[in-house]
Chain A
Amino acid sequence: GENVEQHPSTLSVQEGDSAVIKCTYSDSASNYFPWYKQELGKRPQLIIDIRSNVGEKKDQRIAVTLNKTAKHFSLHITETQPEDSAVYFCAASPDTGNQFYFGTGTSLTVIP
């Protein structure tokens, strides 16, 4: 089955700096890669996703890049703000089947 690794497990940045979280996956059949944000005590919520036919996707301060050959994808947050502080999860999923494989999460702290 799929194995998704996520790094780092914790990340602290100064407000205004950029944050980068990286994930690798093992199954070449995976072609949907969402990122979820989970604030303390809340549910995970989708913030951005990318499919394997696209190399990069951007939504305001958030961007995701995908290197399908190397089997890794990354989340980039620019101009970080304190409200970006949360746990971020990457995931990988094939188009067929019902399986979502989540990474182990990154706890991001943005220091004002």
Chain B
Amino acid sequence: NAGVTQTPKFQVLKTGQSMTLQCAQDMNHEYMSWYRQDPGMGLRLIHYSVGAGITDQGEVPNGYNVSRSTTEDFPLRLLSAAPSQTSVYFCASSLPGGASAFFGQGTRLTVV
């Protein structure tokens, strides 16, 4: 059982570069979301999706774009990386209706 798979695991970017963090789930979950984890701040919601073709903003969406063309995939795009986006990024998926989220292993991103 793969669950939620995130790639890459580690990435170093220069300020101004763009990149896409990949997330795929094989549990046929309708809901998917992206969080960032910073020391002392827990996890904060960036964007979420309740199904293919439907996305919305979370708490900290600025500087990030998402799209959801299939149930399985939910990529996160950084348009122009900034040092403030240095963080650990987690993708999660869940069934609808107040169900727990299953998290991937994370992508550690450093922007220099």
> Are A and B subunits of one complex?
no
Interface residue ranges, B against A (CB under 8 Å):
none
